[in-house]
């Protein structure tokens, strides 16, 4: 279980001090944080909470949203927070179409421009930018980067240690081209994060909070884990589930179930 990491969004309402204590008790050594944690505890405070519990920060969610005004300054702040936390990667959810726009090609081109603008600051801070392709159902309103292939194309102009990609099973499982792209990502050394969630239907209104803990849905999770391993990735496996019914349960219980699902369906 040494690769298992808990993305704190899975237990959204579990206060960070209890969360890190619960992880330590369960033998979990990695936690993916969100900028909410930084807002609540300060970067130094959140970093100390994690470190003092014997854990490391596996990633920070999230930067991106490049269609928003102020994206440049906001992303520079997110990079600084990742650096202060010791997070090796800043996950980027790149944003949807600008208000009123139908030009998805232009929005994707703008993501490339935004990466170029941010890379110098990220390199100086020692933080890797991690472009996350989101499921195509989020293309309009959350992320115009819809496939691993697009994410790799966007990363390609930059050094691999400056820009990588996030492989999230929830977003990519439907894509028959993903296996070839995972191999490509491996050859280029681009896999910055590997996140696991399962696909369950029916989807809820708004579709954001419809994910399942590992093993509760239809995704070939182990096939993904084996494919990222074959691509040379040896980092943490973050379980990241957004779901109201999961959030409503005690953090400790959710963590135990995530660990069991990881063991039975991922490891």
* Residues within the interface to a copy of itself (CB under 8 A): 97, 101-105, 108, 135-137, 139-141, 146-147, 150, 173-176, 199, 201-207, 217-220
Helix (H) or strand (E) holding 6: strand 4-7
3-state secondary structure labels for all residues of 177-229: CHHHHHHHHHHCCCEEEEEECEECCCCCCCCCCEEECCCCCCCCHHHHHHHHH
Q: How far is the CB of 210 from a copy of itself (least distance, A)?
A: 9
- Which residue, 95 or 251, has its beta carbon nearer to a copy of itself? 95
- Which residue, 124 or 218, has its beta carbon nearer to a copy of itself? 218
Q: How far is the CB of 166 from a copy of itself (least distance, A)?
A: 17
- Which residue, 97 or 125, has its beta carbon nearer to a copy of itself? 97
Q: How far is the CB of 106 from a copy of itself (least distance, A)?
A: 11
Instruction: For residue 82, say if its preceding peptide bond is cis, omega within 30 degrees of 0.
Output: no
- Which residue, 40 or 218, has its beta carbon nearer to a copy of itself? 218
Q: How far is the CB of 27 from a copy of itself (least distance, A)?
A: 28
- Which residue, 25 or 264, has its beta carbon nearer to a copy of itself? 264
Q: How far is the CB of 8 from a copy of itself (least distance, A)?
A: 25
Instruction: For residue 37, say if its preceding peptide bond is cis, omega within 30 degrees of 0.
Output: no
Q: Which residues contact 213 (CB under 8 A, 6 or more apart)?
A: 10, 197, 198, 239, 241, 246, 254, 257, 258, 261
Q: What is the rounded CA–CA span in Å between residue 204 and residue 242?
A: 11
Residue among 221, 209, 208 nearest 261 (CA): 221
Q: What is the rounded CA–CA span in Å between residue 162 and residue 20?
A: 29
């Amino acid at each position: 279980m040494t690769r298992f990491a808990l993305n704190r969004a899975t237990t959204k309402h579990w206060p960070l001090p209890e969360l890190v204590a619960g992880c330590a008790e369960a033998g979990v050594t990695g936690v993916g944080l969100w900028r909410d944690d930084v807002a609540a505890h300060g970067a130094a405070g959140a970093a100390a909470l994690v470190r003092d519990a014997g854990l490391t920060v596996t990633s920070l969610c999230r930067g991106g949203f490049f269609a928003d005004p102020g994206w440049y300054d906001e992303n520079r702040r997110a990079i600084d927070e990742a650096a202060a936390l010791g997070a090796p990667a800043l996950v980027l959810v790149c944003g949807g179409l600008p208000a009123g726009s139908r030009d998805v090609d232009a929005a994707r081109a703008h993501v490339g421009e935004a990466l170029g603008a941010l890379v110098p600051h990220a390199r100086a801070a020692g933080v890797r930018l991690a472009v996350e392709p989101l499921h195509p159902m989020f293309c309009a309103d959350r992320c115009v980067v819809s496939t691993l292939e697009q994410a790799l194309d966007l990363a390609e102009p930059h050094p691999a240690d400056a820009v990588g990609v996030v492989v999230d099973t929830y977003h990519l499982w439907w894509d028959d081209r993903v296996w070839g792209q995972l191999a490509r990502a491996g050859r280029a050394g681009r896999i910055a994060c590997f996140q696991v969630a399962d696909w369950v239907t029916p989807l809820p209104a708004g579709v954001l909070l419809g994910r399942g803990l590992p093993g509760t849905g239809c995704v070939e999770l182990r096939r993904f884990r084996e494919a990222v391993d074959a691509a040379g990735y040896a980092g943490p496996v973050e379980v990241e589930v957004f779901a109201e019914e999961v959030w409503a349960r005690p953090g400790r219980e959710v963590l135990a179930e995530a660990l069991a699902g990881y063991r039975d369906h991922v490891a």
